[in-house]
Amino acid sequence: MQQTRPIIGVTTQTLQVIDGIPPALPHSVVMNQRYYEAAAAAGGAPVLVPLLEDAAALRAVYETCDGILIPGGVDVDPGTYGETPHEKLGNIDPARDRVELLLARWAIAEGKPLLGLCRGLQVINVAAGGTLYQDLEAQYPHAIRHDYFPTYGFKRDHLAHDVHVAPASRLRTLVDMDPVPVNSMHHQGVKRLGDGLVPCGHAADGLVEAVESPNGHFLIGVQWHPEVFESDDPHTRGLFRGFVQAAAQFGA
């Protein structure tokens, strides 16, 4: 009998928030295939989570999943953490914010494995009561460059800077490496850390680039895009495999 793979719910975004997509088109949801391929290569069965307005229907989808993966994407609406928009705020996706914050809060409360990548880290932080810098260049003193793609024209796989990983952290065990060279394609970042989160990775400018839970719950958020390297980097592969294994244990 074939072993059942854990179901990994991967969230989506509204098509119309992407630059160049006409807003008059019927609304659709999309997501980069790399996230699904990374989850599948690690042993999971990834499924798309639609941006449902019906909370009961969304809850039913959530309950079928053994783990939740929140990918990268557009900016988080500062209204979700009680701030007014900064002039450098980029595109936002209120439907996605609503869905991902609900999923993250449910997973945090119930100990369901949760992995956040780039925007996903920021969503987890906001779900836990934290706040964000809306634009690092404008709001974070002495910031190094973080928005290599697309603002400064680098490719998505450009290794932009190192992240120093805490030696006793779960993340350090999974990636088995310190420092970790990462790609960098964000202009927002963690400002006030959310409740119950522990910083476990920092950039050279002190910005929090990775968080996790201290209580045994598999909850990890990283500020880079490891899905870009999953196919050929064993350190990145360890992160996805650890997540999928935790999801398998949760669903057993």
**Catalytic positions:** 118, 225, 227
Catalogue the E-assigned strands of the chain.
Answer: 7-11, 13-14, 29-30, 45-49, 67-70, 114-117, 132-133, 161-165, 180-182, 189-190, 198-202, 208-212, 219-222
Q: Which residues are CB-contacts of 247 (< 8 A; sequence separation ≥ 6)?
A: 6, 7, 8, 44, 66, 67, 113, 218
Sheet holding 45-49, edge to edge: 45-49, 7-11, 67-70, 114-117, 219-222, 208-212, 198-202, 161-165, 180-182
Q: Which two tokens stand for residue 61?
A: 């989808």
Contact criterion met (CB below 8 Å) for 219 and 174:
no
Q: Specify burial of residue 22 (Cβ count, 10 A radius: 0-12, 13-18, 19+).
A: exposed
